[in-house]
Amino acid sequence: SHISRNQSWRVLKELRQYGESLGLANEDLIRFIESQQAKQRDDRRFEREREKEEWEVEKVRLEHELELKRLDNTRLFETEKHREEKGNVNPSKVPKLPPFEEGTDDMDAYLRRYERYAISQKWDKSIWATHLSALLKGNALNVYALMPSDQALDYDALKTCLLKRYNMTEDGFKQKFRSCRPEFGETFQQFSVRLGSYFSRWIDMSNVLKTFDGLYDLMLRDQFLHICNNEVMLFLKERVPKSIDDMTRYADQFKEARRVNIVFTYKSDSKR
């Protein structure tokens, strides 16, 4: 349009004046103007992409607010119907939990509290993910918004993605357990409870049997990985061994395939 052409000429004129103020002329001035125009195009493209991503997140938020209202209306209708038929006076409740606060709440603890609440309200698990989405903010909401549509309605899939985003995984809880230290103002009793909770969650995430044999195998695998060098450790983690026997078999495959001596597969200093 006429306005766009005028804006383009004005920008070109400003770039030329700026280039000349830097002492540029002829081919140097042309290259400078072209590079600045390219940078401006990149900036505009980046801004458009950022606005598009923000709109996608907002669009998901709005769609699920509408879905929540629809579900609430459905539950209200079913409650009224049930009350008429059975004389039940306890209507279904909507989520009354505080939203997840980035930087304040622990995602693992928040999800466990949410699950207890959902069970106490006798919600069908098919609506857990939708209700949880209304309580998410910041990066947690972005995780939900960027999930494929079919997975976003699957609570277990959403929970897995959220825990990974906040490093609440088997490795994450193991590191928390290993690095856990008493905090200012904390008693040793409180510290031991926190330490125990990290260990319990590490065991839960590792999916081992809570028996002597199960824990024995978990500790062996952890120590085995700890002494391996980075290349062997990554090789083993990619194959997700379920037992120490699986892990040693994969490690021997690695050694034989690369024809290396075992002394070159572990770290020289393996102190924790």
The predicted-structure confidence for 208-255, as pLDDT tens digits, reads as follows 888 999 999 999 999 998 888 888 888 998 888 989 999 999 999 988
Residue 85: pLDDT over 50: no
Residues near 218 by beta carbon (within 8 Å), at least 6 away in sequence: 203, 206, 208
Residue 83: pLDDT over 60: no
Domain ranges in the chain are: 1-89, 102-168, 171-264
Residues near 111 by beta carbon (within 8 Å), at least 6 away in sequence: 132, 159, 162, 163
Residues near 105 by beta carbon (within 8 Å), at least 6 away in sequence: none
Residues near 114 by beta carbon (within 8 Å), at least 6 away in sequence: 97, 128, 132, 135
pLDDT value, residue 248? 92
Is residue 227 a contact partner of residue 269, using CB atoms and an 8 Å limit? no
Residue 90: pLDDT over 60: no
pLDDT value, residue 146? 86
Q: Which two tokens mark 204?
A: 């839960």
Confidence of residue 86 (pLDDT cuts 50, 70, 90): very low
Tens of pLDDT along 244-269? 999 999 999 988 888 877 766 676 65
CATH architecture of 171-264: Orthogonal Bundle (1.10)
